Amino acid sequence: MFIFAANIFSFLLIMETAYIASGCFWGTEYHFLRAEGVIETKVGFMGGDVDNPTYEEVYTDKTGHVEVVKVEFDNTKTSYEELVRLFFETHDFTQTDGQGPDIGTRYRSVLFTIDEEQFATASEYIELLSQKGYVVATKIETATSFYPAEDYHQQYYDKRGGSPYCHIYRKIF
């Protein structure tokens, strides 16, 4: 029993969480599910004024929520920094309140950080992109309550086939 408990404890030590908002959560999740070291993803909502909002409520842009992907990752196989790079390389971080044809505050580009280390990394990459001449619309906000979206939104592209239309990978770094 002690060995089993130790294995669970060591597993918990390598798990970390990132909250990524880069437009439609279906496309964001598509790319993060395929990233090395990502253990699990869940799409949902964060940053608004309503507890347990539905997709229909968030879609009105009246709740203040953003479509977010909760990314659970193994920090021995990837890092928050690697995930931030993927975040910037899979959406238009210069577009305000939308991604491509998806327009609205629920689609804004946000890195929701859970600690000072994540905040520093996110800030560093925004500064790096600014130095490269980009006008970065991405905001950094403190993570608040995460509300999972309905089941039919989870792993949307994997369940239905296809690939995202507004989240295309392009190497920047």
50 burial level (CB within 10 Å; 0-12, 13-18, 19+): middle
Exposure on the CB side of residue 27, measured as CA atoms within 13 A: 21
Catalytic site residues?
24
If you count them, how many residues does the chain have?
173
Q: How far is CA 161 from CA 25, 30, 156, 157, 164, in A?
A: 16, 11, 8, 5, 10
Which helix (H) or strand (E) element contains residue 85?
helix 80-89
What is the distance of C-alpha 78 from the center of its chain? Answer: 15
Structure tokens at 77: 């196989």
